[in-house]
């Protein structure tokens, strides 16, 4: 077993248990500061909201049963999952539910500490 955990973040590997925390914070701050970092933070926040909406829609539609000769089966389960992902994308593109804005503000706030 190794004495560190590596996670890729924008092409940057974080050696969590080995590296100095202050040095890691400086490296991450350099990635987030400026317009490109804020754009990346916004993109991540929107992806998080999209994922949240997709999961919420999955749970909402999990109990829906279909009738008739063309309903049900494995194909419909896959299709329904893809449809829920597209619905989530549409909701997020039209302004979402406000979750991305809150996540974006928190990302920026955490990076300023």
- pLDDT the model gives residue 79: 84
Helix (H, G, I), strand (E, B) or coil at 43: helix
Does this model's pTM top 0.95? My answer is: no
Tell me how far apart the alpha carbons of residues 105 and 45 are, in angstroms, rounded to a whole number: 9
Per-residue tokens: 53: 């909406």
Q: How confident is the model at residue 88 (pLDDT cuts 50, 70, 90)?
A: very high
Tell me the C-alpha distance between 40 and 36, whole Å: 6
CA–CA separation, 22 and 113 (whole Å)? 11
Q: What is the DSSP letter of 113?
A: -
The residue among 11, 17, 16, 49 whose CA lies nearest residue 31 is 11
Q: Band the pLDDT of 14: cuts 50, 70, 90.
A: very low
Instruction: Report residue 92 as tokens.
Output: 């997020």
Average pLDDT of every residue of the chain: 75
Enumerate residues 6+ apart whose C-beta is below 8 A from 21. none
């Amino acid at each position: 077993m190794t004495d560190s955990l590596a996670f890729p973040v924008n092409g940057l590997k974080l050696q969590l248990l080995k590296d100095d925390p202050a040095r890691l914070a400086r490296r991450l701050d350099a990635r987030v500061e400026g317009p490109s970092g804020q754009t990346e933070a916004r993109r991540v926040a929107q992806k998080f909201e999209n994922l949240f909406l997709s999961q919420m829609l999955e749970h909402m539609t999990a109990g829906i049963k279909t009738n008739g000769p063309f309903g049900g089966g494995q194909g419909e389960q896959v299709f329904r999952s893809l449809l829920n992902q597209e619905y989530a994308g549409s909701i997020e593109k039209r302004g979402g539910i406000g979750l991305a804005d809150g996540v974006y503000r928190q990302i920026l706030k955490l990076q300023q500490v």
